[in-house]
Amino acid sequence: MNVLKFGGTSMGDEHTWRQVLDIIRLYEQPIIVVSATARTTRQLIAVAEMAKKDLGQALTLSQSIKERHQKLVENFLTDTNHPKREEIKQACTEWICKCINKLEQKIKEIATQESLSLQTKDFIASIGEQLSAYLFAQCGQAYGLQTCWVDARKIIKTDADFGQANPNLQTIDETVYLLREKHEEGYIPIMGGFYGETGNGEITTLGFEGSDYSASLIGAALQAETIEIWTDVSGIYTCDPHVVKQARPIPELSFQEATELAYFGAKVLHPSTMKPAAGAHIPVFVKNIFEPEHPGTKIHDGQLTGSWAKAITYLKDVTILTVTSNGALKGHQFLAAFFEKLHNNHIAVNAVTTTEASVSVALQTEVKDQALYRKFKKIGTVTEDKGQSLISLVGCTFEAGKDIRDTVFAAIAEDSPSLISYSKTKQNLNIALSKTELIPAVCRIHDAVFTKQ
């Protein structure tokens, strides 16, 4: 059994839908996870935010989402001769109306309250996958496949941490029988990724672009043979190919390396995708719907060696927060107090350097909360270096190439790093630079490391 996940680009229009269905035909009854159609999730969130100030404009955008999905289905079905085409079209129309009605009911509530809760935001954001999965399953039938829709809410059970819900793995192991049943009945189940529900039936999301994570959770629960992430590039590259033209696909990565790449900015995978697959020892493939014969990137158990580094990635908007102890706390107490404040405020750290008296961290957020800022000031002097970026060299094995340090630092000799950190265990080299220096530095490092190995 294979679990295949298709992203927003794959769900873009009737042409990509046909390409995806042709790929599905190459497998024997795979399990399918799909994202919302291209741009839909962002539009839904924009609708929710807009409703607080301008209900009329929010309703207009809501109708445009409705019309776009109606047009997609109509265009897809135009070229099919399935005997139940009109019946399928009617079912799709009714579903679109049902989803948009739910959306508009919610945005009217937002307009009345002039506020948007995380719970309501999750409800609205999930509508994109509810639309795409059902419509794609219906159109799959018109294309001659035995596809059926399965509501992700019945499978993906989570806690109530809205916006970034944590899945209940034990419960998912129990609910996944619904997919097995459909599979045993001869169907190709299709479900939306990204969303689930709490034990109380409230819709949650797994974090932005979390459909990869859904596929990995399902694959692990089903003990699938493979989990395949289908996108618009032929695997994971040594750098973003839109930025570095010389970037090339990486044939193999370890689970740890792929996780680090996702965490430090590579947009091919959701950062949490690897954990369920790695725990179940199921290989993950990243492949291209426009070049399905390309092997892409295989991600699997084990630590692969033989090169200076695997890839370079980056985060554009980073703040370097530095707190220097005022001496009131001992070294270990100072560090504990600092990280406790970050933890209690759900602030993730991307890179860190420390001494007993000072700590600097790279964050993807500014410490805008003045109450939090005052808490930091109680333990030391606080400075924020804004407008920074973070370059990360992943799979960085100094032992395999003793000259890499000189090579990397020579490539950024013109720049002024505000933070440098290296983890031998995770094999990551992180360098924080001004955003204005980012792209030229990335290109120089990539050229030095990946074209001269």
Q: Looking at the predicted structure, is the pLDDT value of residue 402 above 60?
A: no
What is the residue range of 108's domain? 2-231
Task: Please check whether residue 376 lies inside any domain of the structure.
Answer: yes
Percent of residues, the chain, with pLDDT higher than 90: 70
Tell whether the model's pLDDT for residue 265 goes beyond 90: no
**CATH number of the domain that residue 423 is part of:** 3.30.2130.10
Pairing of strands 297-300, 188-192: unpaired
Domain membership of residue 244 (yes or no) is: no
Q: What is the mean pLDDT of residues 382-392?
A: 91
Whether the predicted pLDDT of 452 surpasses 80: no
Nearest one of 395, 336, 388 to 365, comparing CA atoms: 388
Specify the number of domains making up the chain.
Answer: 2
Residues 6+ away with beta carbon under 8 Å from 168: 157, 158, 159, 199
Which residue pairs from 178-183 have beta carbons closer than 8 angstroms and sit at least 24 positions apart in sequence? 178/150, 178/154, 179/31, 179/150, 179/155, 179/218, 179/222, 180/222, 182/148, 182/150, 183/1, 183/29, 183/31
What digits encode the pLDDT tens for the residues 108-117?
A: 999 999 999 9
Of the residues 231, 249, 279, the one at which a domain ends = 231
Q: What is the pTM of this model?
A: 0.89
Instruction: Establish if 270 belongs to a structural domain.
Output: no
Within a domain: 287: no
- Indicate the average pLDDT of the chain: 91
Please report, for residues 36, 44, 106, 115, 163, the alpha-carbon distance to residue 119 in angstroms, rounded to integers and kept in the order given.
Answer: 19, 14, 11, 11, 8
Q: What is the CATH number of the domain that holds 62?
A: 3.40.1160.10
Q: Would residue 257 count as lying in a domain?
A: no
pLDDT value at 405 more than 80: no
Domain boundary among 215, 231, 247: 231
Q: CA-CA distance, 28 to 24, in Å (whole number)?
A: 8
Residue 285 lies in a domain: no
Cα-Cα-Cα-Cα torsion 59, 210, 349, 405, nearest 10 degrees, comes to -120
Asked whether residue 368 carries a pLDDT value surpassing 80, the answer given is no
pLDDT band at 453 (very low <50, low <70, confident <90, very high): low
Which of 231, 259, 275 is where one domain is finished? 231
Average pLDDT over residues 254-260: 91
User: Is the same domain home to 210 and 316?
Assistant: no
Higher-pLDDT residue of 423, 13: 13
Mark whether 193 and 52 lie in a shared domain: yes
Q: Which of 121-125, 133-137, 342-346, 388-392 is predicted with the least confidence, judged by mean pLDDT?
A: 342-346
Listed range (57-61, 81-85, 204-208, 267-271) with the worst mean pLDDT:
267-271
Residues 188 and 337 in one domain: no
Q: Are residues 153 and 197 in contact, defined by beta-carbon separation less than 8 angstroms?
A: yes
Question: Looking at per-residue confidence, does 297 or 453 come out higher?
Answer: 297
Q: Which segment of 28-37, 244-253, 261-270 scores lowest on mean pLDDT?
A: 261-270
- Whether residue 392 lies inside any domain: the answer is yes
pLDDT grade, residue 191 (50/70/90)?
Answer: very high
**DSSP letter, residue 166:** P
Q: Please report the pLDDT score of residue 305 as a whole number.
A: 60
Look at residue 443 and tell me if it is in a domain.
yes
Q: Which residues contact 156 (CB under 8 A, 6 or more apart)?
A: 167, 172, 195, 196, 197, 206, 214, 217
> Quick count: other Cβ atoms within 10 Å of Cβ 187?
19
